[in-house]
Amino acid sequence: AQRVTQPEKLLSVFKGAPVELKCNYSYSGSPELFWYVQYSRQRLQLLLRHISRESIKGFTADLNKGETSFHLKKPFAQEEDSAMYYCALSVYNTDKLIFGTGTRLQVFP
């Protein structure tokens, strides 16, 4: 079965602290994984995808096929990082996305 699991509903940290948002997936094929973010009063938008292997707003995510994980990391959290983060898996050769339940990140000053 295709599934994305985000075990934490809420993650609270202080500004400057490291952040790791966990994401595990279940997929029989070769996965394409994404992190989408929703800031307050804004629409859902792409943060990063594993195939581009880039850092966006200081965030990085590495695909670990052995552990079937795609955790999102940032070494020093900023208050403007406070948002809802969704990990998503793209079904092969389609744009169908399977989302996790999301993790709300709160960064306190």
Partner 1 sequence: DAGVTQSPTHLIKTRGQQVTLRCSPKSGHDTVSWYQQALGQGPQFIFQYYEEEERQRGNFPDRFSGHQFPNYSSELNVNALLLGDSALYLCASSSGLAGGNEQFFGPGTRLTVL
Q: Which is nearer to partner 1, 2 or 69 (CB)?
A: 2
According to the binding rule CB under 8 A, does residue 39 interact with partner 1? no
One of 49, 70, 105, 107 touching partner 1 (CB under 8 A): 49
According to the binding rule CB under 8 A, does residue 40 interact with partner 1? no
Is residue 46 helix, strand or coil?
strand
What's at 7, amino acid-wise?
P
**Are 11 and 104 spatial neighbours (Cβ–Cβ below 8 Å)?**
yes
Q: Give, in order, the Cα–Cα distances in Å from 12 to each of 4, 19, 78, 103.
A: 22, 9, 12, 10
According to the binding rule CB under 8 A, does residue 44 interact with partner 1? yes
Q: Which is nearer to partner 1, 7 or 75 (CB)?
A: 7
One of 43, 66, 67, 109 touching partner 1 (CB under 8 A): 43
* Angle made by CA atoms 71, 72, 78, in degrees to the nearest 5: 150
Catalog residues that contact partner 1 under the rule CB under 8 A: 4, 6, 32, 43-46, 49, 51, 86, 88, 90-102
